[in-house]
Structure 1
Amino acid sequence: MNIAYFLIPKNRVAYLYEDCTFRQGLEKMRHHSYTAIPVISRDGQYIGTVSEGDFLWRLLADGRESQQPFSMKDMEHLKIRDILRGNNYPSVRITVSMEELLTSAMNQNFIPVVDDLGNFTGIVTRKDIIRYFADQKDAAEPQLLRKIV
């Protein structure tokens, strides 16, 4: 099965640019009620995914150093690229198999999809992957029952 069938294209996915501010990132995540959101460069390259935890860890790390509470005004100078803590959401190419997607979905809410040049093209959600395998299982069960009877 081609994963393009399950792909939610970039124009229907909320994402952040790596040069967006900390405040813009939090506001976008809050607006969409997301716990994680893809981060791309201005030229469309997938950079990584930022999560609520990335924001929290940055606040805690900076708060420990200065012992001062942060205002959202302070966060306007911090960029999203500065808080990414590694790529916990590795991307896949459109040619990946459904079985490989399932493996990724065990650790991620969504799987970012890139083209051959590394440009972000969209996401496949864990929900869609689970639905695919559940449908496959349901379709196979009647055949098994016929063979047994």
Structure 2
Amino acid sequence: MEISDFLFPKDKVAYIHSYANMQEAMEKLERSQYAAIPVIDEQGKYVGTLSEGDLLWKMKNTSGLSFQNLDIVKVHEIKRRIKNECVPIQANLEDMLELAADQNFVPVVDDQIFVGIIRRKDIIEYYTSSISD
């Protein structure tokens, strides 16, 4: 078994670019119904995870910011409180499992380029089905 066996590919993942604005981020989170999504830069590299809480704290701590002007704030300007570590696609399965114990998803990179995520849900389902077989 390899990390790639658990990969939920980038083309199916809700993620946001670091140059997008806060309004776009809120809409992406709302559409995806996730509480957090990966952030990638202009080169496609994983740079962190943006959560609903990050957006709320930004609104609370930014004077004059309201739902009417969220487009003035770029995602890269928002402090991220969740530190989801990423794992290289060629890493050991144990390294990924260790991260998945503390993260809802593990971002996966190939030569620093974001290629997808591994969802903790998929790992649990796999091992649950293995036990019951």
Normalised TM-score (structure 2): 0.90
Structure 1 runs not aligned, ≥5 long: 140-149
Residue 20 of structure 1 aligns with an amino acid whose one-letter code is A
Question: 2:48 touches 2:80 (CA, 8 Å); kept in 1?
Answer: no
1:24 is matched with which residue? 24
- What count of residue pairs does the alignment treat as equivalent? 133
Question: By percentage of residues, which structure has more helix?
Answer: 1
Q: Distance in 1 between matches of 2:32 and 2:82?
A: 21
Cα displacement string for residues 50-102 of structure 1 (whole angstroms, at most 9, x for unaligned residues): 0011111111212xxx3x5x432321110011113256111101122332222
Most deviating of 119-128 and 73-82? 73-82
The structural deviation recorded for 1:136 is: 4.1
1:109 is matched with which residue? 104
Q: Percent identity?
A: 41
Structure 2 runs not aligned, ≥5 long: none
Over the residues paired in the alignment, what is the CA RMSD in angstroms?
Answer: 1.7
Normalised TM-score (structure 1): 0.81
Q: Distance in 2 between matches of 1:84 and 1:136?
A: 40
**Pair member with larger Rg:** 1
Q: 1:60-79 counterparts in 2 under 5 A?
A: 60-62=60-62, 66=63, 70-79=65-74
Q: 1:1-149 counterparts in 2 under 5 A?
A: 1-62=1-62, 66=63, 70-85=65-80, 88-116=83-111, 118-138=112-132
